Amino acid sequence: DVKVTQSSRYLVKRTGEKVFLECVQDMDHENMFWYRQDPGLGLRLIYFSYDVKMKEKGDIPEGYSVSREKKERFSLILESASTNQTSMYLCASEQAGNQPQHFGDGTRLSIL
């Protein structure tokens, strides 16, 4: 079974802090994604990566950056956290070639 592991289930940070969300997958997938999920807005794509050191902006990249130094790990970075970034963050990975995405359990992030 595919395993996508997000480092924290719950996280509380303060406004202005730099926040790192980590995601690791164990299936050698090429593609990895970060989404945020908010009530009534569904899943919104922040960034994705289709290879090591490659990244592409999704629909809502502002205020975020990402890092993919190794194939199995995709990190989401909030450069200076703000209260409007309080949300559920979901990481997903996918084998290239029209395959389904597999999700982690999510990180519920609160910015105070």
Partner 1 sequence: GQQLNQSPQSMFIQEGEDVSMNCTSSSIFNTWLWYKQDPGEGPVLLIALYKAGELTSNGRLTAQFGITRKDSFLNISASIPSDVGIYFCAGQRGTGGFKTIFGAGTRLFVKA
Query: Is the CB of residue 93 less than 8 Å from the CB of residue 71?
Result: no
* Shorter beta-carbon distance to partner 1: residue 13 or 103: 103
Q: State the Cα–Cα distance between residues 97 and 106, nearest whole angstrom.
A: 25
Looking at 14-22, 35-43, 63-71, 73-81, which segment touches partner 1 (CB under 8 A)? 35-43
Strands 87-94 and 73-78: unpaired
We find the least distance from the C-beta atom of residue 112 to partner 1, in angstroms, to be 20
Cα dihedral value 104, 16, 38, 53, nearest 10: -40
Looking at 13-21, 63-71, 79-87, 93-101, which segment touches partner 1 (CB under 8 A)? 93-101
> With 0-12 CB in 10 A as exposed, 13-18 as middle and 19+ as buried, what is 11?
middle
* Shorter beta-carbon distance to partner 1: residue 17 or 59: 59
Site map (CB under 8 A) of partner 1, residues 69-88, x = contact: --------------------
Residue type, 5: T
Contacts with partner 1, residue ranges (CB under 8 A):
4, 6, 31, 33, 40-43, 45, 48, 50, 56, 58-59, 90, 92, 94, 96-98, 100-106, 108
